[in-house]
Structure 1
Amino acid sequence: MIALTGILVLVVFAAGLVVVRPGPVAAWLGDDSAARPAPVVDPPDPAPGPVLAALNGTAPMPDEAGLTKALGKLVTDGGIGGRTSLVVRDVASGKVLYANGGGIPTVPASTMKLVTAATVLSTRDPAYRIPTRVVAGPNPGEVILVGGGDPTLGADAKGFYPGAARLDRLATATKKALGATKPTKVYYDSSLFSGPVYEPGWDADIPTGGFGGPSTALMIDGARKTPTESDNHYSERSSKPDLAAAQAFAKALGVGGTPAPAPKGSVPADAATPSPGATAGPADELARVVSPPMVRLVEFMLVDSDNVVAEALARQVALAKGKPASYAGARAGMTEALAELGVPTDGLVLADGSGLSRTDRLTGEAQTELLALAASGKRPELTEMFAGIPVAAWSGTLEDRFGDAATRKSAAGVVRAKTGTLTGNHAMAGTVTTADGRLLAFSVLTDGVTASSDAARDHLDKIAATLATCGCDA
C-alpha cells in the first residue's frame, strides 16, 4: 500500500498555495491523554517535506472565454459516450470560471470520499482516536472485546495499516489489568454499528470481489483475510470480521475456544462512542487501544481509495451528530454537516461514505465549492484532506494515471485529485495549478460512458492536464 507518511498543510495566500509544516496538526497528532485506562498508542510516522511548489500569489485568474476555448470539445464531445459535467472554480475568489452541467446530480463514484473526509473532519476533532476496549465479562476471567469502529486495528506488528492499534498490545494490557485472575473466555461486541452491513445500492460483486467488506464496528486490517497481500485494492474480505478480530484477540490472550457474542446489555458505555442500550459502568473497563488520529484515517481513506475505511468514517460522522451508526444515520449526519459548512445540498443523495453505491448523487458545483473551502485555509481541519488526496505521477491512485507522456508532463505535481470509477461512471475532482500559478478547484463527473475504462480515464486525465497547462487568455 502506498501511503503518505505524514500530514501537510495547504494554505492559500491570495491566489496562491504553499505547502508548509503542520500548525494545529502537531497537536492533532499528539497522544490522547484523556483516555482511561491509558491507551496503547503507536507514535506517528515522521512528516515528509513539501511536494507541491508554492504558487504565484499574484497570478491572473484564467479568462472564462479562454477556458471555454481550451476545454472545447473535450467536454461537449469527448468521444467516450454519455454525458460529461465539468465545473472549474477559482479557489481564491470562489468564482465559477467554467461550468457544463455543473448543477446536474451525478453518480460521483469514489469522489464521494471527499465529502466523507470533509464531514468527518468537521464533526470529529481531527485528533480524535477511535477506541477498541476490553471490559470485564459476566464472570471472573471472562472479558469482552468491544469494537469502537476502528477499521485499521491490527492483530500485531504485521498489520496492514502503519501505526494502527494492535490486539497483541491490548491483550498484554488486559492481562496486566486482570492481575492474578487468568483469562478464561472472550466475548465480542460490535453492536455500535447497526443496520445492514452492505449498502443496497452496491453492485453485486462488491462483497465478493474484494472492493469492500461488511461495515461492522469490530474488524482487523479493514476486514482483509490476508493483510499482506500485494494487491490490496482487491483483497478478499471476511464475511464475519468481528468474529475474526475476536479470534485474533483470544489467540493473543492465550484463551482457547471460539469467542461468542457478548450477552445483551453487558457492555458498559464509553463516553466517546456509547453503544445503543449499553449500561453505564466505566470502572469495568480493563484496557483499551486507540486508532491513529482522525487526520491519519482520512489520509488512509483517500490515498488508496479505501472503501472500508470510508464507511467506518461515515459512521463516525453519524455518531458525532448523535445519530445511529448505520448507513441511514451516516447519510443524515453527513448531509447535516455539509449544510453547516455552507455547501449546497440541492439534489444531494448520500447513500454511503465510499461512493460504491449507484444511488449516490453529487453535483460538480457542490464538489468544487467544498474543495475551494478546504483549500482556502478558512477551515484548517478541512485543509487536512489534501494530505491524502493523490498527486499526479506521485502518489496513491494517481501514481499510475496520466500515462500519455504529454499529459503526464503537464499534470505531474500540479494536479491533486480524487478519482472514481464504476462501470459507466468515471469521475475526478481536486485542485490544479495553472501555468500562470493560479489555484483552481475542478470536478469532472461522467454518466452513461460507453467507452472502455482506460479510454474514460485517459479522457479525464486530459481534461485535468489541459487545466494545468492553461494560461487561458481569450
Structure 2
Amino acid sequence: MVAAAFLTAGDHGTKHTRIAPEPHAATAAPGVVPVTATAPVPTEEGLATTLAAHLADPNLGRLGGRVSDALTGKQLWQQQSDMPMQPASTNKVLTAAAALLTLDREARVTTRVVAADQARQPGVVVLVGGGDPTLSAAPPDQASWYPGAARISDLADQVRRSGIRPTAVQVDTSAFSGPTMAPGWDPADIDGGDVAPIESVMLDGGRIQPATVDSTRSHTPALDAGRALAIALGVDPATVRTGVAPAAARELAAVHSAPLIERLGQMMSVSDNVMAECIGREVAAAMHRPRSFAGAVDAVISRLTTAHIDTTGAALVDSSGLSVDNRLTAKTLDEVMQAAAGPGQPALRPLLDLLPVAGGSGTLSDRFLEPGSNGDAAGWLRAKTGSLTGINALAGVVTDSSGRVLTFAFISNDAGPTGRAALDALAARLRTCGCVA
C-alpha cells in the first residue's frame, strides 16, 4: 500500500509533514465461486415433474436415463436406466475413466526405428509402431493435427546420425493384434473421415489431409507412415513393406507422444475415434490383456468393475462407441460420472475437465445456444456427446439453479429427425430445475 505525504505550513511558517490515511482495501466479487455442499437437493417428485414435458417429445425415441446427486450418489430420477442401449461415443467416457484409473497422466507412447539384421538385410530399417496414432509427417515448422505430436522428420534426423545408410524401410505393426476394424463398423466411415483401420503406427490418426477438418482417412495408415519415413530418408517409398523387427534390434531413433492427459483431452473434446481405440489398447497393455479390440474392452470393463462401477449389461466391441453393436446402460454411464464428481474416486476427477462445455467447447461448442430454450445451460453443463444415425446420447454434470451439482446420462435410440435437439432440451432442463419442495 502506498501512503501519500502532504506538506503544510505551521503557525510560524515552518513546514510539517502530514500522512494521509490509507484508503480502504479494494474488494471485488469473485468471478468463479465454489459450489456449496449445503445447496438443496432436488426432490425425486420435483425432478420427475419438471422433466415430464420434455420426456413426452416423440423425437426422443426410446430413452434410457438417470440423474443423480453428485455429492451423495443418490439416484434422483431414472427411466429404463438398466436397459442396454447403443451408446455411440459416450462409450469414450468409460475408456477415459479406465485410462485415468490405470495409467500415469504423464504416460507417453514411443515410436521407434531399429536396424534390421544388417548381415542379411544391409541398410534396412524398421519403423516400429508403439500405438501412437498422432505421429505426423508435417514439416517441423508446420502445425500438425495433434498438438505436441512426434514427427517423422525427427526420426529421420536421428537415423541419419546413427551412421546407417538406409536402403529400405519396413513397418512393424505387431504391437497390436487382431482385426484392424471392429464388428459393427461401416467401412464407408473410412472415406467419410470418422475412423481408419487401427494399426500401431499411423500419421495424424490416419488423416490423408491432416490440415482439413473433414479429411478422409487412409485404408493403409501404417504403410503410409513407412512411406513418409522412406521419403524423409531418401528411400524409394514404393519399396516399403511390413515386417517384424529382430529381437534386441539396435535402436536408431525414438520419438514420444504427448502425455496421456493431453491425448485424453483431444479424444474427448472432438470425440476422436482412432485416439480412443489406441488409448484403450494402452489400458489393455497395462492390464496384461491383448492389444486388440476385445482385449481393450475386457481391460476397460474389468478396471471399472474393480472401481465399484456397475457395468451390468455392458456388451462392447470397441473403445470408441462407433460400432452399432455396442450396448451400454445409462446407469453405468451415470455411475462413471458420479464417481468422477463425487468424493469416492479422486483419480477420476480430471474426467470432468475433459468434458466439452455446453455452448463453449468441443462437440458442444455449437449446442445449447438458444436463449430461452436450452441456452440457460450454456457454461453450466459439461457432457460427452454421442451421435450415430438415430442415436443421441449425453453423459455429464450440471449445476442446477439451486447450486446443486447433478450427474446425468441420457441415451436415446430410434430417435426422430429432431432427436438431438429434444435430448439437449431435456438435459438443459436440469440446469433450470431447482426442483426442491
- Map of 1:43 onto structure 2: none
Output the amino acid matched with 2:362.
G
Structure 2 residue runs of 5 or longer lacking an equivalent are 1-29
Say which of 45, 63, 84 aligns to 1:65. Answer: 45
2:131 maps to: 149
User: How do 1:327-406 residues align onto structure 2 when only pairs under 5 Å count?
Assistant: 327-376=293-342, 378-406=344-372
Cα deviation, 1:432-465, whole Å, max 9, x if unaligned, reads 011111111100111222x11xx11111111111
User: What letter corresponds to residue 61 of structure 1 in structure 2?
Assistant: V
Matched-pair contact (CA < 8 Å) for 2:60–2:419: no
**1:228 corresponds to:** 211
What stretches of structure 1 of length at least 5 have no aligned partner?
A: 1-49, 268-278
What's 2:176 paired with?
193
Any conservation in 2 of the 1:323–1:333 contact (CA below 8 Å)?
yes
**Bigger radius of gyration:** 2
* Superposed CA offset, 1:326-368 (max 9, x none): 1111111112111111111211111101101111111111111
Instruction: Tell whether the 8 Å contact from 1:407 to 1:461 is kept in structure 2 after alignment.
Output: no
Aligned mate of 1:122, from 101, 115, 123: 101
Determine if the alignment matches structure 1 residue 89 to structure 2 residue 58.
no
Contact 1:350–1:361 (CA under 8 A) maintained in structure 2 = yes
Deviations 1:230-289 (A, max 9, x none): xx2x4200100001111111222232343533544x34xxxxxxxxxxx3x26x112211
Q: How far apart are the structure 2 equivalents of 1:259 and 1:150? A: 23
**Alignment correspondent of 1:54:** 34
1:393 touches 1:408 (CA, 8 Å); kept in 2?
no
Q: CA deviation at 1:81?
A: 5.2
Deviations 1:102-156 (A, max 9, x none): 1111110010010110112222222110110111112243211111111111113
2:23 paired residue number? none
* Corresponding position: 1:435 with 2:414: no
1:131 is aligned to 2:110: yes
SS in 2 for 1:330: helix
Contact preservation (8 Å) 2:374, 2:429: no
Q: Given the superposition, is the C-alpha separation of residues 263 and 306 from structure 1 closer, same or farther in structure 2, using an over 3 Å criterion?
A: closer
Q: Is the CA contact (8 Å cut-off) linking 2:170 and 2:242 kept in structure 1?
A: yes
Q: Distance in 2 between matches of 1:381 and 1:182?
A: 47
CA offset digits 1:29-53 (Å, max 9, x no partner): xxxxxxxxxxxxxxxxxxxxx9975
Alpha-carbon separation, structure 2, partners of 1:72 and 1:398 = 24
**RMSD over aligned Cα atoms:** 1.8
After TM superposition, the score normalised by the length of structure 2 is: 0.88
* Aligned mates of 2:168, 2:344 — CA distance in 1: 51
CA distance, structure 1, for counterparts of residue 33 and residue 322 of structure 2 = 34
Alpha carbons 2:137, 2:203 under 8 Å: kept: yes
Name the CA shift for 1:51/1:211 in 2 (closer, same or farther; >3 Å).
Answer: farther
Q: Is the CA contact 1:246–1:259 (under 8 Å) kept in the aligned structure 2?
A: no
1:228 is aligned with what amino acid? A
What whole-Å deviation, never above 9, does each CA across 1:31-83 have from its counterpart, x for those lacking one?
Answer: xxxxxxxxxxxxxxxxxxx99753233211111111011001322x2221521
Aligned to 2:147: 162
1:88 partner SS = strand
- Tell me if 1:113 matches 2:92: yes
CA-to-partner distance for each residue in 1:179-221, whole Å, 9 max, x for gaps?
A: 3x32222111111112111112123532232111111101010
Checking the alignment, whether the CA contact within 8 Å between 1:415 and 1:433 is kept in structure 2 is: yes
Distance 2:180 2:40 in 1: 49
Q: Is the 8 A contact 2:228 2:237 kept in 1?
A: no
For 1:86, what is the secondary structure of its paired residue? Answer: strand
Instruction: Note if 1:468 corresponds to 2:411.
Output: no
Q: Is the 8 A contact 1:188 1:259 kept in 2?
A: no
Matched position secondary structure for 2:372: helix
Corresponding residue number in structure 2 for 1:79: 58
